[in-house]
Amino acid sequence: MATRRDKPDYFSRRARHEQFVSRAVYKLADIDKRFRLLHPGQRVLDLGCAPGSWLQYLGSRVGNTGLVVGLDRQPVKVPVKPPVYFWQTDIATLDPHRLKTLTPAFDVVVSDLAPATSGIKDVDHQRSLELARLSWQYARVLLDEGGHYLVKVFEGPDFPGFVAEIRPHFQQVQIVKPEGSRSDSREIYLLARRRLKPPNDV
């Protein structure tokens, strides 16, 4: 039976028209517009980047003086050329320190990582939190002082605990439900801006 999600909505049609590989791009674009996250020359790490609409957007925002590194265990469906680089890997098995061979630090770390959903709310919540915590391991090691961290989570009872873990490391932390995120989806984004001085042990 066809569900509401099978039908192309406004954002899916717009993505096709504007040649983005996924409607997900409009979530990042909305957050960028509202919070002025991205600028030319920035170094951005994109965790869970496939099929690649965020990579397309990030590449155009940072320009040729910037750097965008995407990681995903799935291949991307967009052309990968400088300033964009792609590494096909499971983020749970990669040591984040290895990315320091590409650049010593990033100005922005974004994570749109999502688990394969089971349909069981609490299971999906816990799996997405696991991925969010993994993304924080990357941001903790790689995000520069003053940098920004954006991460998707499926809302649930343990989300406030995750927010409390992140809050002390940034000047400002807020929860955002961007344009383009379906109203019936439990996904929300934690946006943490202006990282405080990282500890010496990273």
Ligand X SMILES: C[S@@+](CC[C@H](N)C(=O)[O-])C[C@H]1O[C@@H](n2cnc3c(N)ncnc32)[C@H](O)[C@@H]1O
- When CB distances to ligand X are compared, the closest residue is 48
CB of 52 to ligand X, least distance (A): 5
CB of 138 to ligand X, least distance (A): 11
The residue ranges that bind ligand X (CB under 6 A) are 22, 24-25, 48-54, 72-74, 90-92, 112-114, 131
| CA dist., res. 59 & res. 29, Å (int) | 12
CB of 34 to ligand X, least distance (A): 18
Our CB check for ligand X shows the closer of 113 and 142 to be 113
3-state secondary structure of 161: helix
115: left (phi over 0), alpha (psi -120 to 50) or beta: beta
Our CB check for ligand X shows the closer of 156 and 198 to be 156
Our CB check for ligand X shows the closer of 52 and 59 to be 52
DSSP secondary structure of 3-60: -GGGS--HHHHHHHHTT-S-TTHHHHHHHHHHHT---TT-EEEEES--S-HHHHHHHH
The catalytic residue positions are: 152
CB of 200 to ligand X, least distance (A): 28
Helical ranges in the chain per DSSP H: 10-17, 25-35, 53-62, 121-142, 159-166
Our CB check for ligand X shows the closer of 32 and 112 to be 112
